[in-house]
A and B are shown apart, each in its own frame.
Chain A
Amino acid sequence: MAVRVQEADFDVAAEVRALTAGRTDVGAVVTFTGLVRGGAQGDGVRDMTLEHYPGMTEDELARVEAEAQARFPLQASLIVHRVGTLRPGDNIVLVIAASRHRAAAFQAAEFLMDYLKTRAPFWKKERSADGSGQWVDARESDAAAEARWKSAPGR
């Protein structure tokens, strides 16, 4: 179980290897990688800057991970979230869920992302090609994705 907030990029394969090294109790590993999207028309966004609340971010990600642990039979998990300035195509977030069987790993990875999206204190500011900045608005669909776990607690 671990969470990391960093400016540096991550290597998905290396993170999976590190998480499962020397273990024989893991039968399923699900990874989710979030990337910076360009604008809807394929242009628009030059880059984005991710701001966060140092201290609370790590605490909140650890709470999200603990909640996933309580709901699903996980053998291991990892959340890595980048901060700073990122360009379209760059990695932003990595979630890994490792379990004995695939169902728990798939569900836990989705749960981790849904909770992270609505709870972890990160904010994105996009910069357009013309240099103007715009804070990204929270999506109603993210709140709905989190809410559905309230009636489907896992396990």
Chain B
Amino acid sequence: MKILYFAWVREKVGRAEEVREPPASVATVGDLIAWLKTQGPEYENAFAQAQVIRAAIDRAHVKHDAAIAGAKEVAFFPPVTGG
């Protein structure tokens, strides 16, 4: 699946997007965050306060308990500040 990062999450991870195939045990957005945190210090740092990170699956907002099965695109970002 494609994983996108925005704003300070992007800066901390050090990339805007990447393609990853997490193991089958990764079922939810929260699982994906926990798995990413094992992928290097930059991920551990970006997701250190996981509860503040917002997520979207295929361009729609979701909560951390949302299932990622079938997702083409998962995005992580801070709370939005437009307007």
CB within 8 A of A53: which of B8, B77, B83? B77
Query: Contact string, B53-72, partner A, CB cutoff 8 A, digits 1/0?
Result: 00010011100000000000
A130 within 8 A of B: no
Chain A contact surface mostly? mixed
B78 within 8 A of A: yes
User: From residue B81, how far is it (CB to closest CB) to chain A in Å?
Assistant: 5
**Residue on A nearest B56 in the bound complex, by CB:** A56
Task: Determine the residue in chain B with the shortest Cβ distance to A50.
Answer: B82
- Chain A 32-74 near chain B by CB (<8 Å), digits 1 or 0: 0010000000000000001111011001100000000000000
Q: Are A124 and B81 in contact, CB atoms less than 8 angstroms apart?
A: yes
> Does A135 have its Cβ within 8 Å of any Cβ on chain B?
yes
Question: Is A78 an interface position by the 8 A CB rule?
Answer: no
Inter-chain contacts of A116 with B (CB < 8 A):
82-83
- B56 near A123: Cβ-Cβ < 8 Å: no
Which A residues, 104 to 136, have Cβ-Cβ distances below 8 Å to chain B?
113, 116-125, 135-136
Min CB–CB distance A85 → chain B (angstroms): 15
Size category of the binding interface on chain A: 20 to 34
Is A119 a contact of B59 with CB atoms below 8 Å? no
Of the residues A34, A53, A117, A119, contact of B6 by C-beta under 8 Å:
A53
Interface: A137 (CB within 8 A): yes
- Taking Cβ atoms with an 8 Å cutoff, the residues of A that contact B are 34, 50-53, 55-56, 59-60, 81, 92-93, 113, 116-125, 135-138, 142
The 6 closest A-B pairs by CB, nearest first: A122-B82, A138-B79, A123-B7, A56-B59, A117-B83, A136-B81
A-B contact pairs, 24 of them (CB 8 A): A34-B83, A51-B7, A53-B56, A53-B75, A60-B61, A92-B83, A93-B82, A113-B83, A118-B80, A121-B56, A121-B80, A122-B80, A122-B82, A123-B7, A123-B77, A123-B78, A123-B81, A123-B82, A124-B81, A124-B82, A135-B78, A137-B81, A138-B78, A138-B79
